[in-house]
Structure formats: structure tokens, C-alpha cells
Chain A
């Protein structure tokens, strides 16, 4: 698996798109820092960008890479390599190179600005960790979609729809159900509903760590009570981890049964 990972990773970091992605974060980091002049505020703005953008880029890169490397995959399948290693290697190659772009692209401007001397270092690391989680989750989901669909257009369509659902539609449905059932106690419901969507979960996690949960009103208080504690934090991390592992299991399952 490590050899496949190595080749996929090299292949990707040599590609133009990885540089574009890296330079985008680099520019974003510098611009935000010098416009805001405040690490904490920059982290909040970054969060808003990252929470939507990372899943989108992860989804599109994942699907694109899978379909573009189909020929290479077929070549590898005839070699003495375990099937699941081929797909796992490619998955980690894509997710790893995207995460590297993210960490370097945002890390460099923040380090130059003097992150180490600021007390926002924990918030910032949390931002990068959730960013990495989201990258792995969405690359995994897009791989599962791509391997299940021979048709490129269909695969792309489903992947983008999934992103749209989790990033936009889910929140709308969530909000609507809150309004519809406002006469009922909704604490548990909103907690569970948030935890089920990795994008929402990441957003809440960062917001709470930034101590601006007062902005969230009544629900904010409940969230703070749950996610704000160490136990809540651990549980949310565990859920993110679960979100990362589930697509991988799906990928393994599909890879074992597919004909090429």
C-alpha cells in the first residue's frame, strides 16, 4: 500500500492543481491576517471559508482523481498487489496531498505572523485538525461514489449533490424542522442532528472553542454544555473519526466485489 501511496502522492504534488490549492490558502492566510490584524478574527473568517470549501475541493479532487487514474488502476490490478491496498493507497495519496496543501498554505502565513506567540494557537490547530478530518471524510465519500458509478458524469453529479446536501440543504432542513417542532423540547434532537453532519459538527466545534457561542443563543448554551466539555469534545472527535472510517469500509467493500 505504501508504494501506491507514494506514487499517488508524488503524482498529485507534481500536478498544477495542488499548487493552485496551496497558493490559494497561502494568499487567503496572508490577506486575512493583514486585513484583520488579529489572529482570532482571522481564524473565524477562515473557518467560514474552510468549512464549505474543504468538502467541495475534497469531493471534486477525489472523484476526478479516481476517474483519471482508472487506466493506472487497471494496470495495477494485474500486478501482485492486494486490491484494497491499491484503493487505500490512492485514497491516502489524494487526502494526504490535499491536507498538506491546507496545512502548509495556512500554516506559513500564520507562523510568519507570530502564531507561536499568540494564544490562538490552540484554536488554529483545531481549525487545521478539523480541516484535515473534513478532507479525509469527503475524499473518502467521493471515492465510494466514484467506485460505485462507472459513468463519470453520474459519479460527478452524485458527489456534488452529496456536498450540496451536507453543506447547504441539511442546514435548511434542520432549521425548518426546528421551526416546525418549536413547541417540543428539541435539545437532544439538535445535538444529534448536528453530530450527524460532519460539516455542522466541525463548525460547532470551532465556534465553541472560540468562545463566541453566546452568539448562538439558547441552543448555544446547550451546545456549550455538551460540546464545550472535554467529554463532548472527545465524543465529537470520535464522531469525526467514525465519519472518516465509514467511507473507508465502504470503499474496501466495493473494491473487493468490483469487476474491472
Chain B
């Protein structure tokens, strides 16, 4: 088991975001974390990364309890939702800095070529467009070889060509036996990529299973409608 989450609670002020999430993530699959806005997807991911500290419950990543630990993050590649980079440094400097900080082998050259970032290497991050920033973000995430990859809205701002490259990249990583978590609102992307769906609603896991299982439970033929229908049918997992 790659990730095991037990009875996870998190509250921000008056807002109870996670209300007892129980979850197990197995190795070598692609999981799509879905749910309406504000259902706690990002909070769940950030809890796994240790950026958000849970009020209650436990998280184990690759058989290690993550409380007060940070070394386990060596095993995780994380793509943050909005590419917030320090504005005054160049793309090349940022890549080198992260490489230096992680101190593990990296394959940024192929990725820079794959996404056509060569001409931007000497530009400052503040001058890049949203889509180009997202490509830099992807390079920073995929250049290390970690068994767990977490992608928060990876498709934001990408052009069709880059999107195809990203999909190929994700499939390639999966073929190597890596576990991948993705959150997105693009259902077509989920249908193409995901093995398992995790549907979060009001801070709880409302549904967990394959796309096929979801279609059967909701009695829908179209995936997008099945997701929309998930809360109305009595398919509580």
C-alpha cells in the first residue's frame, strides 16, 4: 500500500474541511481525486505532503507515518495547483536550485526538449505566460524519479500539444509501476487516464472505485453524467 489514511480531520477556523477521511492507495495505479469546489481535494493532498497539519487521524506514506517527518517527501513528486514561482529568477536558475535542494538524479534535459522550453531557459519567471509556467511546473515535477507522483490540476493552461505530451508522460510513469494521484475538473482527462476514482464530498470519501463501477451504480452511459449523478443516486460507498 502506498498511502494509508485513517480518520483524517481538518478544520480551518469554523470551516470543517475534512470530516474523517479513510483511504488506501495501492501501488502502480492512477487515481483521480474528484469532487466539487471546496470539497477538500487540495487539503487532502496537502495533508499527504505535510503542508497542512491534520487535527486528527493518521497518514502513512510508503509504510512510514508522516507525522513530524520530512524525509518521506524524497519519495514524492508534487505539482502544485497554481504555479507560484519566485518572480525574479530565471527558469534555468529555478531548475538548478530545486535540483540542488533535492540532491537526487534528475532528467530535466529530455523534459525541457519535450515541452519546447529551450528558448525560455534564460527568461525570468515573471515574464512567462500561464501555460509556459505550467510547463516549467511539470518539468520540475517529473524530472525526479520518485515512486509517488501527486498532480494538482496538471492540465491548467496547457495547449493541446503539451496536453498530449503530458498524457504520454503520465502513462510512461505508470508503466514504471509508479503511483499517481491527480485532481482535475476535466472529465475527459479522467476518463482517459484514471484507473480509480475517489469522489470527495463535504470532507468525506463519497465514492471509491473504477469508472466501470461508477457507471453501473449510477446507471449512466456517459462518464460526465455519471459524475454529476453520483450525489443524487444512492451509491454511497
Cβ of B160 < 8 Å from any Cβ of A? no
How far is it, in angstroms, between the C-alpha of A113 and the C-alpha of B193 when the chains are bound? 72
User: In the docked arrangement, what's the CA distance between A59 and B190, Å?
Assistant: 48
A154 interface contact, C-beta 8 A: no
Kindly report which residue of chain A lies nearest to residue B54, judged by CB atoms. Answer: A259
Instruction: Give which listed residue, B51, B53, B78, B86, contacts A69 with CB less than 8 A.
Output: B86
Instruction: Please determine whether A3 and B80 come into contact, CB atoms closer than 8 angstroms.
Output: no
The verdict on A81 contacting chain B, using a C-beta distance below 8 Å, is: yes
Q: Is B71's beta carbon under 8 Å from chain A?
A: yes
Flag the segment in A49-57, A72-80, A193-201, A238-246 that touches B: A72-80
**B169 near A: Cβ within 8 Å?**
no
Q: Residue of A at shortest CB range from B52?
A: A259
> Please, which residues of chain B bring their CB within 8 A of the CB of A82?
70
A80 close to B97 (CB less than 8 A): no
Tell me whether B86 and A79 are in contact (CB under 8 A): no
How far is A257 from B70 in the complex, measured between Cα atoms in Å?
A: 14
User: Cβ of B97: which chain A residues have Cβ within 8 Å of it?
Assistant: 7
> Which residues from chain A contact B52 at a C-beta distance below 8 Å?
259-260
CB within 8 Å of A: which B86-118 residues: 86-89, 97-98, 100-102
Q: Are B85 and A71 in contact (CB under 8 A)?
A: yes
Tell me which of A71, A74, A257, A259 contacts B12 (CB under 8 A): A259
* A81 cross-chain contacts in B, Cβ below 8 A: 70, 73, 101
Give which listed residue, B50, B71, B87, B101, contacts A76 with CB less than 8 A: B101
Partner of B86, one of A72, A83, A257: A72
Which applies to chain A's interface (DSSP): helix, strand, loop or mixed? helix
A80 and B86 form a contact (CB under 8 A) = no
Tell me the complex Cα distance, A57–B87, Å: 23
Query: Residues 55-95 of chain B: 1 if any A CB is under 8 Å from the residue's CB, otherwise 0?
Result: 00000000000000011111010101000111111000000
CA distance A241 to B97 in the complex (A): 33
Instruction: Tell yes or no: B226 within 8 A of A by CB.
Output: no
B12 and A83 contacting across the interface, CB-CB below 8 Å: no
Where the two chains meet, the residues of B that have a C-beta atom closer than 8 Å to any C-beta of A are 12, 46, 49-53, 70-74, 76, 78, 80, 84-89, 97-98, 100-102
* A144 to B: closest C-beta gap in Å: 18
B3 CB to nearest chain A CB (Å) = 15
Tell me the smallest distance from the CB of B234 to a CB of chain A, in Å: 34
Min C-beta distance of A185 to chain B, whole Å: 50
Other A-B pairs beyond A70-B84, A71-B87, A78-B49, 18, CB < 8 Å: A71-B85, A71-B86, A72-B85, A74-B84, A75-B80, A77-B50, A78-B73, A78-B76, A79-B73, A79-B101, A80-B73, A81-B70, A81-B101, A83-B70, A259-B46, A259-B51, A259-B53, A260-B51
Residue of B with least CB distance to A3: B101
C-alpha gap A78/B46 in the complex (Å)? 9
Q: How far is the CA of A160 from the CA of B80 in the complex (A)?
A: 33
User: Which residues in chain A, 125-179, are within 8 Å of chain B measured between CB atoms?
Assistant: none
- Minimum CB–CB distance for B68 against chain A, Å: 8
Bound state CA distance, A78 and B72, in angstroms? 11
The 8 Å CB contact of B78, one of A3, A72, A78, is A78
Chain A residues, Cβ within 8 Å of B72: 80
Chain A residues with CB below 8 A from B53, complex form: 257-259
Residue of A nearest to B49 (CB): A78
A77 and B80 alpha carbons, distance in the complex (Å): 11
Q: How far does the Cβ of B197 sit from chain A's closest Cβ, in whole Å? A: 24
Tell whether, in the assembled complex, residue B74 and residue A80 are in contact, meaning their CB atoms are under 8 Å apart.
Answer: yes
Which residues of chain B are near A258, meaning CB under 8 Å? 53
Residues of A within 8 Å of B87, CB to CB, are 71
> Which A21-56 residues sit within 8 Å CB-CB of chain B?
none
10 closest Cβ pairs, A-B complex: A71-B84, A80-B73, A80-B74, A72-B86, A78-B78, A259-B52, A260-B51, A82-B70, A77-B51, A78-B49
- CA separation between A75 and B85, bound complex, in Å? 7
Residues of the B chain whose Cβ atoms lie less than 8 Å from the Cβ of A257 = 53
Contact of A80 among B85, B100, B102 (CB under 8 A): B102
Contacts A3-B100, A79-B98, A260-B51 given; indicate if A74 touches B80 (C-beta within 8 A): yes
Residues of A within 8 A of B80 (CB): 74-75, 78
Interface string of A205-239 (1 = CB under 8 A from B): 00000000000000000000000000000000000
The CA-CA distance from A60 to B61 in the complex, in Å, is 40
B86: chain A residues at CB < 8 Å are: 11, 69, 71-72, 75
